[in-house]
Structure 1
Amino acid sequence: MENLLWLIPALPLAGFLILATLAVVGAGKKITALVGAGSICLSALVTLVVGADFLGAAHESGTYSQTLWTWLEVAGLSIKMTLTLDALSLVFIFVITFIGALIHIYSAGFMEEDRDYTRFFASMNLFVFSMLILVLADNLLLMYLGWEGVGLCSYLLIGFWYEKPENGYAARKAFTMTRVGDTAMAIALFMLFYQSGTLVIGEISTAAPGIWTPNSTTVTCIALLLLAGGLGKSAQLPLQTWLPDAMAGPSPVSALIHAATMVTAGVYLIARMHVVFGLSEVAQTVVAVIGAVTLLLAGLTALTQHDIKRVLAYSTISQIGYMFLALGVGAWTAAVFHFMVHAFFKALLFLAAGAIIEALHHEHSMFKMGGLKDKMPVIFWTFMAGAISLAALPLISSGFYSKDQILWYAWGAEGGSPLLWAVALLGAFITAIYTARMVILTFWGEAKTEISHYPGKRMTIPLVVLAFFSVFAGFIELPHNFGHFTLFSDLLHGVMPETALRVDVSSEWIFQLLAAAATLGGIGLAYFYYYKQPQRLENLRQDMVLSALHEFWFSGWGFDKLYNVVFVRPFLAIAKLNKADVIDQLYTGIVAGTDGLYRLVARTQSGSLRWYIMGMVIGAILILGIQMML
């Protein structure tokens, strides 16, 4: 089965090439949906087959590797197109292909009325292909190819409805902001090759302890540059402002970006390069602090939003913050576990939100929804499955088990601290509030917008499947006092180091009770203010301080305004001053000269037959005269 590894990314690539051709020649929507969704479904099937063989074979090296060809070889640098599968990449490709397939099936119904149906599926297939290359690459340069590929595809899909200028702006913003991190990552690759003489990830991981001394300036610099790349792709502070605006794209795009592709790339990069990060306490501390601050700021911002998709967008930033926090304290497996669980419930929530928005005449504001609990029961119950997992409802949701692990390690891991735990617990409380608020405003109360039509089976079946995994996926990894069932940790045991604890595991139940209290308290608070006594909330909004604080959080803590003042406006001013520099004048002169010659030649094309005949006669006389003179 090892020889089938190439098929996993090849099938989405083939789908993209076929759809790109069909987009030019024109094709029916049935064949487009068949190729677009079918290629990803086949890739998911191959992933299951290869994954089952990988898990059952007990491979000696713990990896499957397949070299396709040599990409480049120059000056001691040899880069091969080699795909490598280990336990970590297996988790990621399963999420990418399986959830990607469900999103594509959903998209076949959701995008059916769109005139650019084929272009949409072509871009989606390319997106999945790029992410698969990113996680299967055995070397950092091939990973960087996939890394830039997902950046390109995010630009194409966020700005898919390019007729609206704001959508084009959102796409450019995402592309530009992620380039900041990508540049830092490229510098890190140069440093890694200079220091180690290779870009093969396995060779770097093996040689790293012998090349760099722990906490050396060089390894810290490399780790921080890699972190900057991850911050851009995963929308963490200070490069987080592009993700909420990315909601300009269709809802299936949001689901794919938030659950299976773009924003998870940073988590994968840090997890994959954990050996390098493990050599720098400073870098790991920075990762943990950024994750903690991001989860808190994004959670408070989600609490104030009106647009249901923007609530989910800020929620993603916050949940990725939890993953960064786990990575920073050395809880590598916990971060990857929460990534997998989050992928299920966040894809579900975005797709369900898309179904609601489409049913309500493309209405995004939760304050204009309401009353959908009985009118759209399938959407309601599946959305509830995702919501209880996001809020980490104790015992019955997968989100409880993955987030509880992070909270426990934020306190108990060697890199953890009471402050990090307190921030994470406060974040869990806030998450429960905005999740319950979202559910209450959307499904309870009076209906404020009439339903125009109901979603079909192509949209509801993926929701039911995702709802099942959103509830039960977390039970493959249970805490110490719940039987300590560690199927997920055992899977990653050969790839990720076990998290070192500095406290006795017997106290874990105390932290679980506190986490459960935070979740139930947040839900209760939202129930009181948004359902039972909404007038009290209106009274609170009259307070000038609270109102100003609400507006500040609503604006995303003013980061966009700050960046406009510090970066955007100065850059535009310099560009305006530099508009007519010497280089521009040279090119302007070439254009003016070409235009003048064109106009001169164009004057000879008067359309008058007499002038053409006269020109031929004069030409003939001149030629004969020259011949006679010679």
Structure 2
Amino acid sequence: MLSYVAAFQYFTGERLADGTFPTIVPYNFTWLPLGSLHFDLGVLLDPISVMMLVVISTVSLMVHIYSFGYMHGERGFQRYYAYLSLFTMSMLGLVLATNIFQMYMFWELVGVSSYLLIGFYYTAPAAIAASKKAFIVTRFADMFFLVGILVFGYFAHSFNFSFAGDVQMGAHAAPFLNVDVDPTVAAGAFLIPAALVLMFIGGAGKSAMFPLHIWLPDAMEGPTPVSALIHAATMVVAGVFQIARMFPMWMEFAPSALSIVVWVGAITAFYAASVACAQSDIKRVLAFSTISQIAFMMVALGASLPAHSGEGILDNHAQLGYMAGMFHLFTHAMFKACLFLGAGCIIHAVHSNEMSAMGGLRKYMPITHITFLICCLAIAGVPGLSGFFSKDEIITACFHYSPVLGWWMTLVAAMTAFYMFRLYYGIFWGKDNEAYAEHRPHEAPWTMTLPLIVLSAVTLVGGWIPFGHFVSAAGTAYDIHLDAQIAITSSVIALLSIGLATYIYMGKTQPVADKLEATFPRLHRWAYKRFYMDEVYQ
């Protein structure tokens, strides 16, 4: 409730002269003075932090309510809620941080919380192995993040995010961008962009970007509500939020380095979508879907084209990617949380994660069926639903950046529609599974279906929120734009992909995976084995 009150008061308050919302630091104190540097702790409110407050609080509330039903009767019920609350607190602290160092403290708390929740079933060897894998991979990436923070702080003489929006930023930045002065300043001109890239590596680890993605599919060993929270509103979006929070610094110091963010995201999006097309475990399909959708957000942020007017003011039309990425973070959080919680209801009903153990469930689980379908349509980009607006803005930004990138991401969007409806038909259509004769599936209790209804309702209307009216960063207004030609093209392609999945899977008489395997045996095996990336690490 406090998050909603804060958001209401912030967005109904006074704006700055240029129409953007102000950055407010209601609480801040020096925690650790260190020579000319000092480490602060405080609370920073600006459009993206307030937006994240709403996203995290909403999804966390739904997960807490859902868990009453899902975790009923489980050992360690109190421990589970303690870990869940720690996870939520850590992410809230991360998005409210006033400086990079404070963000890093909560960043590590998010990692610890995920380790505890992924390994919640500590008597299961697979859960313990998955929690260790997640912890080690993300800690490896965090090492780069920490080095980047230290290098940036040394040359920029500040850890504070307000530094990026300060009117004195030009005075700080000018010497770094002029390499004809003394050697220290010349080093800064090179090392500040390098520091930002190092911090991006840390974000890539948290957000499961290729090749640091290997921990996320195994994180499915934790309770399903935990998967919803990790994938929708906490750990995997932390990397996206880090890039968004540091975005003015990227634009000031290293605009050309944003191409690294673009192409890492583009490769990851295609890779994850390819793997999702071959998985038979419903949670793993959704896990690789998350990796692909987070990569969409990364691509959007990287595709924010730098453009300066004669007075040095950022051209808001060049910042479409930033707005699209933040919008997709918001819409994705809602429908992906609903999909994971819906998957939990399905697993709860059939006692299996495998699509081969499902089929025909629409007759037994009508609420889960309808809410799952709404979210599948949204993530596929069907016009009118939230995913359509945010995804098409990203694709529009990609076409502005490069036609090759635009078509590449359109292909990934088509693959998304295909594998999501492969999943949908494999669960809810086709013949009833033989196991239903012994154990008849039933709808989940209201504590589990209520969050599905709420999240699917937000998915229905979320795209119509005037997002660009509210969200900006560092005093810079960002434009929102939907290109009609691109929107129509991508929508037609998405509908064709849904049609293909419908033709293949709607009346299936054999397990879903068998059809792909029979048609493309070698390609299916490679995709099912995740292109052997785990074996490469071993």
- 2:338 aligned counterpart, secondary structure: helix
2:412 to 399, 409, 427: 427
Q: What is the distance in 2 between the residues matched to 1:430 and 1:344?
A: 21
1:106 to 46, 58, 66: 66
Contact 1:528 1:534 in 2 (8 A): no
Q: What is the distance in 2 between the residues matched to 1:527 and 1:347?
A: 24
Alignment CA distance shift 1:144-1:494 (3 Å)? closer
1:273 to 223, 246, 260: 246
Q: What is the distance in 1 between the residues matched to 2:146 and 2:74?
A: 38
The equivalent of 1:610 in structure 2 is none
TM, length-normalised to structure 1: 0.76
1:209 aligns with 2:188: no
Show CA shifts across 1:488-535 (max 9, x none).
Answer: 11212354745689xxx8x92221121011111111111112235768
The equivalent of 2:469 in structure 1 is 490
Show CA shifts across 1:348-400 (max 9, x none).
Answer: 00001001101112x00012101111111011001111111111112x31100
Map of 1:455-466 to 2, 5 A cutoff?
455-466=444-455
1:55 aligns with 2:11: yes
Contact 1:155 1:172 in 2 (8 A): yes
Map of 1:178-197 to 2, 5 A cutoff?
178-197=138-157
Q: Which amino acid aligns with 1:472?
A: V
The equivalent of 2:89 in structure 1 is 129
Q: What is the distance in 2 between the residues matched to 1:466 and 1:542?
A: 37
2:285 to 311, 319, 338: 311
2:427 to 423, 429, 442: 442
The equivalent of 2:312 in structure 1 is none
Which fold has the larger relative contact order, with Cα–Cα distance below 8 Å and residues 6 or more apart in sequence? 2
| 5+ residue gaps, structure 2 | 180-188, 305-320
Map of 1:218-229 to 2, 5 A cutoff?
218-229=191-202
Q: Greater CA deviation, 273-282 or 319-328?
A: 273-282
| 5+ residue gaps, structure 1 | 1-44, 477-486, 565-630
Q: What is the distance in 1 between the residues matched to 2:367 and 2:508?
A: 28
Contact 1:195 1:211 in 2 (8 A): no
1:118 aligns with 2:97: no
- 2:122 aligned counterpart, secondary structure: coil
The equivalent of 2:522 in structure 1 is 548
State the Cα distance separating 1:219 from its structure 2 match.
2.9
Contact 2:517 2:525 in 1 (8 A): no
1:410 aligns with 2:398: yes
The equivalent of 2:295 in structure 1 is 321
The equivalent of 1:374 in structure 2 is 363
Contact 1:360 1:452 in 2 (8 A): yes
1:385 aligns with 2:361: no
- 2:530 aligned counterpart, secondary structure: coil
Q: What is the distance in 2 between the residues matched to 1:407 and 1:136?
A: 30
Contact 2:364 2:442 in 1 (8 A): no
The equivalent of 1:356 in structure 2 is 346
- 1:355 aligned counterpart, secondary structure: helix
- 1:112 aligned counterpart, secondary structure: coil
Q: What is the distance in 1 between the residues matched to 2:246 and 2:421?
A: 37
Contact 2:323 2:479 in 1 (8 A): no
1:398 aligns with 2:369: no
The number of residue pairs the alignment matches comes to: 499
Map of 1:594-609 to 2, 5 A cutoff?
none
1:258 to 223, 231, 240: 231
Q: Greater CA deviation, 191-200 or 206-215?
A: 206-215
Q: Which amino acid aligns with 2:488?
A: L
1:96 aligns with 2:56: yes
TM, length-normalised to structure 2: 0.89
Q: What is the distance in 2 between the residues matched to 1:195 and 1:78?
A: 14
State the Cα distance separating 1:210 from its structure 2 match.
3.0
> Which consecutive segments of 4 or more residues in structure 1 shift more than 6 A?
533-537
Q: Which amino acid aligns with 1:427?
A: V
Alignment CA distance shift 1:494-1:135 (3 Å)? closer
1:83 aligns with 2:43: yes
1:526 aligns with 2:505: no
Q: Greater CA deviation, 272-281 or 532-541?
A: 532-541
State the Cα distance separating 1:542 from its structure 2 match.
4.0
Show CA shifts across 1:439-465 (max 9, x none).
Answer: 100000112142355311111111100
Task: Give the number of the structure whose alpha-carbon radius of gyration is greater.
Answer: 1
